[in-house]
Structure formats: structure tokens, C-alpha cells
Chains A and B, each alone.
Chain A
Amino acid sequence: MFDTIGFYFFAGLAVISAVLVVTRRNAVHSAIFLITALLATAGIFLQLHAEFLFIVQVILYVGGIMVLFVFVIMLVNLDVAIHQMQFNRMWLVALLLTIALGAQVYMVFHYAHAGMTEPLFHLQPARASDLEPNTELIGATLFSQYMLPFEIASILLLVAMIGAVVMAKRKV
């Protein structure tokens, strides 16, 4: 029962925060609502028994990326921005994209039988103990099966770090 309550609570929080992110006029308010949306996503991970991912999301996304966002918003804060128009005129395109995405996901549900004996939404989830102990399993997977992407990700971070430092310097 806790599972269901937890899911609905975090899901509701995530969706409401996401709506508020894209509709606020003030960028700092948007950032704060993005923080709550990210924390709600972390809650969903926790509810899915993915505890390592929960804490990685909190440390990296909320404690790292959002701090970066908040810094930049405060550096480029313009007082005139509050009175400018916030939305452009592409709302029709957005509506069409929404309909297209919804139709695609509906198709997935309706026609996803390929290779499986039951439709998608009847599948039973695997036992939670398959993913325990979570941290050790993810560590073992990352360092044995996915070692190459891991190294590439670290080189990517190095490149991004150097690039961001060079771009943000005043005099190169």
C-alpha cells in the first residue's frame, strides 16, 4: 500500500512541478520548481527500489546541475525580463507534438505483443530482490559489462569541464 501512495504522491508532485517549470515568468521560480520535479523523480526511483539511482539523482542533478542553473540565472538576471513576453507563437506546433507523442505511446500499448505472451500492461514486475543489493549490482554492471561507456563518459565529462571553463572565461 505504501508503494501506491508513494507512487501517486511523487508522480503528482513531479507533474505539477513540471507544469510550473514551463509556465513561470520568473526564471528563479522555474528553477525551484525544477528542483522539486527532480526530487520527485528521485522519489519515483526510490519507490522502484533503485536506491543508488535515487541518491545519485539527488547528488548530481539537484546538488550539481541545479546549482549550476541557479548560478547562471543569477548572473544573467535582467530586470526587464519580467515584463517581456514569455511565450512565443508556437503553441500550435506544441499541441501537434503532444498529440503525436500520445498517439505513439498508445500504439506501444495497443500493439506491443511482439515476442511476449501477454500485452505490455499485464506483465508482472520481477522480484525486488533481483535488484538487491542495488549499489553492488550497479557497480558490478558498470565495471564489467559497460566498462567502455563508463570510460567514454569520464572523457566526456573532462571535455565538458574544459569546454565550460574556456567558454566562461572573460579573456581566453
Chain B
Amino acid sequence: MLSITHYLVLSLALFTIGVIGVVTRRNVIIILMSIELILNAVNINLVAFSRLFGDAAGQAFAIFIITDAAAEAAVGLGIIISFFRNRETVLADEMDLLKW
């Protein structure tokens, strides 16, 4: 009764909400959280197709994505902490040091 469509629509919904979060929010930490949502949507997609075709490679790739997300979150949050120590702000539109 459940077909691949269900999982693709769910994945699309999460992806879209993540994209809206990245584009619309000012707080950089929430932007990072929306990026995590996007990565999760991709993971759901991969695992759904892995189940469809009976291939374990999709799940292995999903593990790589989770690993990647961990590394990126660590480095991104490190950058945010460094920036916060200098500028006392976490809002994206106030981080405009390089603008002319």
C-alpha cells in the first residue's frame, strides 16, 4: 500500500521546509539546523530507494552523509563561536564584514 511516492513526497516536504528555513531566517544557528533538515530529507530519499531496489549501497551512502553532517556541524558551529566572540552577534545580516 505504501509506494515510493509516499517517501518521495515526505522527502520533498522536509527538503522544502529546510530550504525555506535557510533562506528566510536571520539566526545563523537556525540556518545550520535547517541545513540538517535538508540532509535528513536526502537521507530518507536514499534509504527509500535502497529499500525499493534491495541494494545496501543506499544505506551505506546515507551513513556517509550522516558522517559528513557531523563534520560540517562541528566546523560550522566552531566558526559561529569564533565569530560570536569577535562581533557579539549571531544574525546573518549583521555578518557583513566583507561587504564594501
Contact = CB atoms under 8 A, between A and B. Distances in A.
Interface in A82-138: 84-88, 90-91, 93-94, 97-98, 101-102, 105, 108-109, 120-123, 125-128, 130-131, 134, 137-138
A21 B25 CA distance: 11
B74 A131 contact: no
Contacts, number: 239
Interface residues of A, number: 87
Interface in A122-172: 122-123, 125-128, 130-131, 134, 137-138, 140-142, 145-146, 149-150, 153, 156-157, 159-161, 163-168, 170
B64 A69 contact: no
A35 B88 CA distance: 27
B24 A91 contact: yes
A142 B10 contact: no
Contact of A11 (B6, B33, B61): B6
A14 B10 contact: yes
Interface residues of B, number: 73
Contacts of B20: 22, 94, 97-98
B96 interface: no
A105 B7 CA distance: 12
Looking at chain A's contact residues, is the secondary structure mostly helix, strand, loop, or mixed? helix
Contacts of B37: 18, 21-22, 34, 37
A166 B57 CA distance: 35
Nearest to B9: A105
A30 B31 CA distance: 11
A78 to B, nearest CB: 7
Contacts of B61: 146
B56 A141 contact: yes
Contacts of A84: 26, 91
Interface of B: 1-10, 12-21, 23-27, 29-30, 32-34, 36-37, 40, 43-44, 47-48, 50-54, 56-57, 59-64, 66-75, 77-82, 84-85, 88, 90-93
